[in-house]
Amino acid sequence: GGASAGTLSAPLIQGMAGLDSYEFRISAVTVGPNSADRSEVTATGAADKAAELRHQSMTTTSTSADDPEASTSTTESWITSDLTCSFDGEEYSSEMANPIGTDFGSLLSGVFDIVIPDSNSQKVGGDTIAGVSADHYTFSIKGLGADSGWLVDTNEGEVWVAKDGGYVLKYVVNVSMRADAQSSEMYTLQLTLEFTSVNQPVSIQVPAACPA
């Protein structure tokens, strides 16, 4: 990644791959087309490159106009160099790692990386995220609504980028769209990804219940 004169280019996944260890949290709330149609995803994760260990936990809660009663599911997984163990709230399951998957994973992370727009960002100050000094930028998502023809009410983004290393430390997006000015149907997205520790010791324990 790099930044100069108010422009910015900061790949997210590649930046994560360059860290020795990290912990993060994610929150994503989508609503639409009606207020009853709602999905909320919260997740936490950690990685220790030297130990070849990763852990993540994700909870999804959703409602809809047809089914207003909330449905919630939680999954948790531990990834080692040898296997992936998952827990669905009732039982553990494991699958062996495929060596070719490591190579394809590295390839796909480069192809499908999230890149902050580099032509409409503006540096607005500095901050400290997870103990790391960061530059703070605002941006908007280019082309939002162009394909659908929907009216964009809100298009706001913020990103905090490490001054040393150019990797993303925090990423926030808030967007809303509707068919036209009179439409009661609206889609909204509120997304936050934030690192809570960077290159600090992390504790990841694979449960003994994970099948070998």
* Whole-number average pLDDT of the chain: 84
d(CA 179, CA 34): 12
Mean pLDDT of 171-199: 90
Terminal alpha carbon distance of the chain: 39
pTM above 0.85, yes or no: no
- Among candidates 171, 165, 195, which has minimal Cα distance to 47? 195
For 39-60, give one letter per residue: b (16+ CB within 10 A) or e.
Answer: bbebbebbbbeeeebbbbbeee
2-6, 41-45, 104-108: which range is least confident on average?
Answer: 2-6
Nearest CA to 64 out of 89, 28, 40 is that of 40
> Residue 204: what pLDDT?
95
**Among the listed ranges 11-15, 47-51, 86-90, which one has the minimum average pLDDT value?**
11-15
Q: 195 pLDDT exceeds 70?
A: yes
**pLDDT > 90? residue 48:** yes
- Average pLDDT on 171-197 reads 90
Percent of the chain exceeding pLDDT 70 equals: 84
